């Protein structure tokens, strides 16, 4: 079920500073930029209003003074893998529609961006989007009081708006399909629920279905979200004598790598073990068996984030009913279902 972040103002703007000081936004801009003739009395009123409203003067203040804005920021943990590239492309395409530039910042090793670096980035843009889990909640709330900010695919943070794709319901449907349609009884989840909010939600959907059916929930095979992590998960399963008859992977990248490693060891997919992924990357459609997965609108999400930020910056906000975009299960052969033109992969 879609949830909505609190509809609170994004924070003080150059317009609210001008209103509080009783001057024009052009005057506020001159005070901030240190250009043009401004009386000491007026300058003091503007600076007092800035301090009182906790306004962050930015490098974009000059453009705001003429009712335009120039740049949106995007913070990602990395660019490797199809998810981040699709999200970035959607974000950049929507920004380009409004003739805006994009300032991209990548997290340090370990997947986080320190608060000082985040504040410096925020000071150079008019609005900023952050992938969930990359920036500390305290830093998010502090910047959200000062300018438009959106968290993408993150957990709900009080005072911070978010946009995400749905995870828990589709994960539950995918897991139930393995149990009910294919009789699998020993599924395992591959992915670390602590690595990101969306992975945690996928594990929660998986766990909930097993608990409803009275099936013991095994510990997840924890790891990252890259190909090498899928290979390592496959090797752990092989070393343990293949205790699972179904593997629910946190994304397609690890699912495809895991499938290839198992096949190389003589384990049939789906004859011996069903495998599912998440994202529906292009390769999922062309491997055989095709990868059963969950399609999420990553590119559309990136575009919606940029458009929503643009609306917040310009004050042109309209109806915003969507905060969680729908996902859907895509059935192919890796779970055991027959594919058009291909026999049932479970047949021996």
DSSP 18-55: HHHHTS-HHHHHHHHHT-S---HHHHHHHHHHHHHHT-
Residues 108 and 173 in one domain: no
Domain count of the chain?
A: 2
Residue-by-residue pLDDT tens, the chain, 348 positions: 333 333 334 467 778 888 899 988 778 877 776 656 778 888 888 888 887 887 766 544 444 444 446 799 999 988 887 889 999 999 999 999 988 999 999 987 667 888 888 988 888 898 999 998 899 889 999 899 888 999 998 877 888 889 999 999 999 999 999 999 999 999 999 999 998 889 999 999 999 999 999 999 999 999 999 999 999 999 999 999 999 999 999 999 999 999 999 999 999 999 999 999 999 999 999 999 999 999 999 999 999 999 999 988 887 765 555 688 999 999 999 999 998 654 333 332
CA dihedral 255, 257, 259, 262 (to 10 degrees): -130
Domain annotation covers residue 347:
no
The rounded distance, in Å, linking the Cα atoms of 145 and 275 is 44
Asked, as a colleague might, if the bond just before 37 is cis with ω within 30 of 0, I would say no
CATH number of the domain within which 311 lies: 3.40.50.2300
Domain containing 206: what range?
168-295+329-335
Beta bridge partners of 330: 293
Predicted confidence at residue 344, as pLDDT, reads 36
CB atoms within 10 A of CB 67: 11
The rounded distance, in Å, linking the Cα atoms of 249 and 234 is 11
Entry pTM: 0.75
Residues 25 and 153 in one domain: yes
Domain annotation covers residue 8:
no
Give SS3 for 59: coil
Euclidean distance between the first and final Cα of the chain, in Å?
Answer: 41
The rounded distance, in Å, linking the Cα atoms of 347 and 314 is 59
Both tokens of 223, joined, read: 């790891």
Residues 134 and 55 in one domain: yes
Domain annotation covers residue 236:
yes
The rounded distance, in Å, linking the Cα atoms of 207 and 6 is 29
Residues 270 and 304 in one domain: no
Predicted confidence at residue 25, as pLDDT, reads 76
Residues 304 and 227 in one domain: no
Residues 161 and 22 in one domain: yes
Residues 134 and 238 in one domain: no
């Amino acid at each position: 079920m879609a949830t909505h972040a609190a509809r609170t103002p994004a924070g003080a703007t150059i317009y609210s500073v001008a209103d509080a000081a009783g001057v024009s936004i052009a005057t506020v801009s001159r005070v901030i930029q240190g250009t043009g003739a401004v009386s000491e009395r007026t300058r003091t009123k503007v600076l007092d209003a800035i301090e009182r409203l906790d306004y962050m003067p930015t490098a974009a203040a000059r453009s705001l003074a003429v009712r335009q804005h120039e740049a949106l920021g995007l913070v990602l943990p990395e660019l490797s893998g199809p998810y981040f590239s699709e999200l970035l492309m959607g974000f950049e395409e929507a920004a380009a529609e409004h003739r805006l530039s994009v300032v991209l910042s990548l997290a340090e090793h370990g997947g986080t961006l320190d608060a000082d670096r985040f504040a410096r980035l925020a000071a150079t843009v008019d609005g900023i989007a952050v992938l969930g889990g990359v920036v500390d909640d305290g830093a998010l709330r502090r910047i959200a009081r000062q300018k438009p900010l959106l968290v993408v695919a993150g957990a709900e943070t009080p005072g911070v708006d978010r946009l995400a794709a749905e995870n828990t319901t589709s994960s539950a449907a995918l897991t139930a399909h393995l149990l009910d349609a294919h009789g699998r009884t020993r599924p395992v989840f591959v992915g670390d629920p602590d690595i990101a909010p969306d992975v945690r939600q996928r594990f929660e959907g998986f766990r909930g279905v097993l608990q409803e059916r009275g099936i013991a929930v095994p510990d997840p095979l924890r790891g990252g979200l890259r190909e090498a992590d899928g290979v390592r998960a496959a090797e752990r399963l092989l070393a343990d004598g293949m205790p699972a008859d179904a593997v629910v992977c946190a994304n397609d990248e690890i699912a495809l790598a895991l499938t290839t490693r198992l096949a190389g060891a003589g384990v049939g997919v789906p004859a011996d073990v069903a495998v599912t992924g998440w994202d529906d990357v292009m390769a999922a459609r062309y491997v055989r068996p095709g990868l059963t997965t969950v399609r999420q609108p990553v590119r559309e999400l990136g575009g919606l984030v940029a458009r929503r930020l643009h609306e917040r910056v310009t004050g042109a906000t309209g109806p915003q009913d969507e905060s969680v975009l729908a996902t859907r299960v895509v059935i192919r052969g890796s779970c055991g279902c027959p594919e058009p033109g291909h026999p049932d992969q479970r047949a021996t």
